[in-house]
Amino acid sequence: MKIPPSIKSAKSDSAWYALAIIILTVFVSLAGYSLVQQQKRFLLDEKQKEIATIADLKSSQLVQWRKERIAEGSSIRANIMIAHRTLDFYANKDKTKIRQEFRTWIDSLIDLGEYNRGVILSPVGEIIATSSNFGAAPSQHYFNLAAEATREHELIFSDFHSDGDGDPYDFNMAVPIMNANGTTSNCIAILVLDIDPAKRLYPLIQAWPTTSSTAETLLVKRKNGSVLFLNDLRHRSKNSLPFQLPVSQLNLPSARAVLGQEGSFQGIDYRNIEVISATRVVPGTQWGLVAKIDLSEVMQSLTKTYFIVTTVGVVIVISLTLGVFLWNLRKKTETIRRMFEIEQKHNLELKQSEDSLTRSRDYHLKLLEDFPSPVWRSGSDGRCNYFNRTWLAFTGRSLEQELDDGWADGVHPDDRERCLATYREAFQEQRSFIMEYRLRFNDGSYRWINDHGRPYYDLEGAFAGYIGSCFDINVQKNAEAELQGIHQRLEQQILERTSDLYEINSLLRKEIDERKLLEQQLLSAKRLEAIGQIAGGVAHEVRNPLNAILTITEALFKEQEIASNPEFEPFILHIRTQVNRLVHLMNDLLDLGRTIPANSLQPVPLDSVCRDTLDLWKSTGVSKNKWGLLYNDNDDSPVLVSADALKLQQIFFNLLENAGFHTPVTNNIIVRLCNKNIPGGMAVAQVIDQGSGIPEDKLPHVFDPFYTDRKGGTGLGLALVKHFVENMGGFVHIWNNDPPPGCTVEIRIPLYHEEKK
């Protein structure tokens, strides 16, 4: 379609007016933006100067505060009366009265000053007196400060300190109480005071000289790789744990402060909100100080400027737009008339094109109608909308019956679901497909066809649906079925001739496996028997020297000069421990070589043995702050097993000891008694730990004698478990928990039956 020059000219004029509007709009926007940026820079410079002044003020106030505390400590250090009363205390002159005087004096210091509590210690760490509110015994931190003050004879002023997680941060000041003796003086006691920063220091830091809703002063220090916030934060609720952020985050002013970078910075605070700030290093300390205010609060004064600039720009744009609208309105009639003429001509050309396309479509449809193979077509909705004459002749049905999903009625019931699924899956992915299925012929029989389908597209390249053609392969399918029948008959004849050979091979393999198992059991029994014989011979030769060593050692350590010296006590304990360890090792080796006689197997209540063993394990200290729990799936009904009671208890004790070594502190170790109605006449007990598990390549060896990966272990605990369980007619199995953590050891012991008596 050809556009007249007058219309092109009108469009060109509109373009020039639009360009002029855009240029003026950009100019006004740039001017307004420049003005706002100038005001913003001026405002930020003034605010940064103000914050820097406040940071200097806060830093000087912190220095003065420390000087005042040190001056108070120095006055206490020079107090002759306190030194005199301390000497009276050491001279045993009415200690109770002196303690009360000291307590009253410390309480008065707390009431008048910034202190929280206090304690007077002797140079050797003896508590002389405490404040009334002291509560529990002093922590080790107090004694460390007292020792340092005693050694240096100087006042010690500690940094922020917390006795533990959840305890508040405070300062400690250790003041040595000196006794002047001629030309020298010595420390006779140490007063350790807790300085509560919440009484004056935090209010001093948090006070802001001007009115502000976001301004804040932060006191920080570096702790390893983190910034530790020392004072309460204005915009964060209090928490028992100190707030920390990584020191590597240099856009945090607090990170710059602990790195010693002083100056004015713009960054983000602990809330990830933009702020302007000033940082200072507090002289004489490891503290950094940050004075900050939210950038959004500073920018609030620019709101009026933003409003004026925006209003002026909107008025200019509206005025220019109104001018263009009036100009276009004047030429509207002429433009509409010319466009109407163009539209009429275009409609005529479009009608001619549609007639040509209709003739072309009818020609191609006639080709499909006369195609010798069945042809079908579906639309973009997946429903079939065309079947050619060959398809209808093949099925003997009308076009109306086949449209949409009606064609599927002619598909064999055994093939219908698969056929529809193949078509729908290919349709969703818009890909070609080939499928074989049985379609009902016009005489009512079913014939195999091969269906080829592929997507087709309209003239604009948009997906329009699917088109497919089919081929009759019934003769080929019948031939394949006949060949398959012949193949199956041949295979059946071969199987009948070789079935006897398969049965003989199966019996032979079973006998070989049984012989290998018996050989392994015999080899294991001989090895344990050899260990028992060696252990029995060595035990007699080792026990007498061990007893002699222990007896001589005990006599030696009863000598007056040795018994009165506590330095020798660890050595006798070590010797006793090692001798007992060797004795237990010899007993384990002897047990490993012995079999349990049949007359030792008696009816034993399994749940009672488990409960007693748990109590024994907890009482011996082996548990090491780990919990042992007993779960009984038998509704508390007694389960009697045929076992040696002492050996059974040793089995569970060894398993608990092994599980306790691998289970982290405060985690549970579970002993579970499973349902007694288990096939095979066995009682089942499981010991489940919460450790790191066992590598898969080590699982087959954990029950081998002397196999261990534990430092100080003998490698006999689990070997004895396996030996005892198998001697009682049971078996043991171990596996890693799924899901982790930990592993499970399961033992099965034969149930006791009355007729066994």
CATH number at residue 737: 3.30.565.10
pLDDT number for residue 345: 81
In terms of DSSP H, where are the helices of 274-412?
295-299, 303-330, 332-369, 389-395, 399-402
Among 4-18, 126-140, 383-397, 717-731, the range scoring the smallest mean pLDDT is: 4-18
With pLDDT > 70 as the criterion, what percentage of the chain qualifies? 80
pLDDT number for residue 624: 66
pLDDT number for residue 757: 42
Question: What H or E segment, with its residue span, contains residue 245?
Answer: strand 244-246
pLDDT number for residue 370: 79
Categorize the per-residue pLDDT at 17 as very low, low, confident or very high, splitting at 50, 70 and 90: low
d(CA 557, CA 209): 74
Residues 319 and 457 in one domain: no
Classify the C-alpha dihedral 115-63-60-293 as positive or negative. Answer: negative
Question: What H or E segment, with its residue span, contains residue 254?
Answer: helix 253-258
Q: Is residue 744 part of a domain?
A: yes
pLDDT one-digit tens code per residue, 198-252: 888 888 888 888 888 888 888 888 888 888 888 878 888 766 457 788 888 888 8
Q: In degrees, to the nearest 5, what angle opens at C-alpha 747 toward C-alphas 743 and 748?
A: 145
What secondary structure letter does DSSP report for 714? -
Instruction: Look at residues 689, 578, 672 and name the one whose alpha carbon lies nearest to residue 623.
Output: 689
Residues 212 and 73 in one domain: yes
Q: Is residue 385 part of a domain?
A: yes
Domain CATH for 437: 3.30.450.20
Residues 389 and 325 in one domain: no
Backbone phi and psi for residue 122, each to the nearest 5 degrees, phi listed first: -80, 165
Among 444-458, 603-617, 652-666, the range scoring the smallest mean pLDDT is: 652-666
**Greater pLDDT, 536 or 213:** 213
Query: Across residues 591-615, what is the average pLDDT?
Result: 82
Confidence check: pLDDT of 192 > 80: yes
**Greater pLDDT, 363 or 370:** 370
Residues 311 and 194 in one domain: yes
Q: What dihedral do alpha carbons 437, 438, 439, 440 form, nearest 10°?
A: -170
> Do 705 and 523 touch, CB atoms closer than 8 A?
no
- The β-bridge partners of 439 are 411, 447
Categorize the per-residue pLDDT at 293 as very low, low, confident or very high, splitting at 50, 70 and 90: confident
pLDDT number for residue 310: 79
Query: Is the backbone of residue 78 left (phi > 0), alpha (psi -120 to 50) or beta?
Result: alpha
pLDDT number for residue 110: 85
Residues 25 and 83 in one domain: yes
Classify the C-alpha dihedral 138-142-144-149 as positive or negative. Answer: negative
Residue type, 226: S
Residues 321 and 379 in one domain: no
Q: Is residue 532 part of a domain?
A: no
pLDDT number for residue 560: 67
The total number of structural domains that make up the chain: 3
Residues 191 and 254 in one domain: yes
Categorize the per-residue pLDDT at 452 as very low, low, confident or very high, splitting at 50, 70 and 90: very high
In terms of DSSP H, where are the helices of 474-559?
474-556
Q: Is residue 632 part of a domain?
A: yes
> Do 189 and 122 touch, CB atoms closer than 8 A?
yes
In terms of DSSP H, where are the helices of 557-666?
560-563, 569-593, 606-619, 645-662
Question: What H or E segment, with its residue span, contains residue 156?
Answer: strand 156-157
Confidence check: pLDDT of 357 > 80: no
d(CA 445, CA 474): 11
Boundary residue ending a domain (441, 472, 503): 472
Residues 222 and 326 in one domain: yes
Helix (H, G, I), strand (E, B) or coil at 418: helix
pLDDT one-digit tens code per residue, 703-725: 877 777 776 566 677 888 888 88
Neighbours of 532 (CB within 10 A): 17
Q: Is residue 568 part of a domain?
A: no
Cis amide linkage into residue 741, ω under 30° from 0? yes
Neighbours of 535 (CB within 10 A): 20
Which CA distances in Å does 28 have to 34, 183, 312? Answer: 10, 86, 8
Helix (H, G, I), strand (E, B) or coil at 356: helix
d(CA 23, CA 108): 79
> From start to end of 458-567, where are the E strands?
463-472
Round the average pLDDT of the chain to a whole number and report it. Answer: 80
With pLDDT > 90 as the criterion, what percentage of the chain qualifies? 12
Q: Is residue 499 part of a domain?
A: no
Instruction: Look at residues 305, 270, 312, 272 and name the one whose alpha carbon lies nearest to residue 290.
Output: 270
Among 219-233, 398-412, 428-442, 462-476, the range scoring the smallest mean pLDDT is: 219-233
Confidence check: pLDDT of 12 > 70: no
d(CA 341, CA 335): 10
pLDDT number for residue 434: 93
Neighbours of 730 (CB within 10 A): 22
Question: What H or E segment, with its residue span, contains residue 629?
Answer: strand 627-632
Residues 111 and 180 in one domain: yes
Residues 465 and 607 in one domain: no
- Whose tokens are 């729990």? That residue is 629
Q: Is residue 200 part of a domain?
A: yes
Domain limits for position 441: 370-472
Q: Is residue 498 part of a domain?
A: no
Helix (H, G, I), strand (E, B) or coil at 220: strand
Per-residue 3-state assignment (H helix, E strand, C coil) for 74-110? HHHHCCHHHHHHHHHHHCCCCHHHHHHHHHHHHHHHH
Query: Across residues 616-631, what is the average pLDDT?
Result: 77
Helix (H, G, I), strand (E, B) or coil at 438: strand
Residues 20 and 117 in one domain: yes
Helix (H, G, I), strand (E, B) or coil at 145: helix
Categorize the per-residue pLDDT at 451 as very low, low, confident or very high, splitting at 50, 70 and 90: very high
Cis amide linkage into residue 739, ω under 30° from 0? yes
Start-to-end CA distance of the chain, whole Å, equals 113
Residues 32 and 123 in one domain: yes
pLDDT number for residue 418: 92
Query: Across residues 289-314, what is the average pLDDT?
Result: 79
> Which pTM does this prediction carry?
0.40
Boundary residue ending a domain (419, 453, 472): 472
> Do 306 and 36 touch, CB atoms closer than 8 A?
yes
Boundary residue ending a domain (300, 330, 360): 330
- The β-bridge partners of 220 are 229, 288
Query: Across residues 321-343, what is the average pLDDT?
Result: 75
d(CA 143, CA 192): 9
pLDDT one-digit tens code per residue, 667-708: 888 899 886 566 678 889 999 988 888 888 888 878 877 777
**Greater pLDDT, 484 or 20:** 484
d(CA 300, CA 39): 12
> Do 475 and 448 touch, CB atoms closer than 8 A?
no
Query: Across residues 171-196, what is the average pLDDT?
Result: 82
Categorize the per-residue pLDDT at 756 as very low, low, confident or very high, splitting at 50, 70 and 90: very low
Neighbours of 616 (CB within 10 A): 14
- Whose tokens are 């999903």? That residue is 405
The full DSSP string for 319-347 is HHHHHHHHHHHHTHHHHHHHHHHHHHHHH
